[in-house]
Amino acid sequence: MEIDTQLETERLLLRMPRPGDGTVVNKAIKSSVAELKPWLGFVQELPTVEETELNTREAHIKFLQRESLRYLIFLKETNEFVGSTGFHNIHWSIPKLEIGYWIDTSYSGNGYMTEAVGKLTDFALDQLRCRRIEIRCDRENDRSRAVPERLGFSLEGILKNEDLSIDGSKITDTCVYAKV
């Protein structure tokens, strides 16, 4: 299946990770670690630039294999790295998928993630012909929950006592948002 490796919105460029992207991604992780750490496993121990580079190269390969489709987000005018989003838990036979995302804290509050996830949602429905798109997030992660809510996703349910917190200290609830 041909899948666009680059997507554009009014203000953003979303593109497949490439070798060499690890430095800019790692810098964003480091500057946002306090905000990301409660929610994301990959920042529990701050990755080195080399580890982040390896991760972005693996994401590039998985994109080509259509296992997961990560897009890095850049401002169109300045080419500054804003964050990451993409499709995972893809089931091509249905087809359905899940959208995940994180943003460099210095760019939050500008609507960039809503714009990027909105573009991915339209792309999944129109180009990939998905029958179901999910966004799952911790019930307590208000900023993450705001993205699907602004985009008109339906809150299908809250899975109580469904997961452990990233640090393993408590049981958490997971919100399941969907667009069909």
Q: How much is the pLDDT for 88?
A: 97
Q: Given a cut of 90, is residue 138 above it in pLDDT?
A: yes
pTM exceeds 0.85: yes
Angle made by CA atoms 110, 113, 117, in degrees to the nearest 5: 145
Each residue of 88-118: pLDDT tens digit? 999 999 999 999 999 999 999 999 999 999 9
Each residue of 36-67: pLDDT tens digit? 888 988 888 899 999 999 999 999 999 999 99
Q: For 96, how many CA atoms within 13 A lie in the half-sphere containing its CB?
A: 9
Instruction: Find the range with the poorest average confidence among 26-40, 85-99, 143-157.
Output: 26-40
Position 168 confidence tier, pLDDT thresholds 50, 70, 90: confident
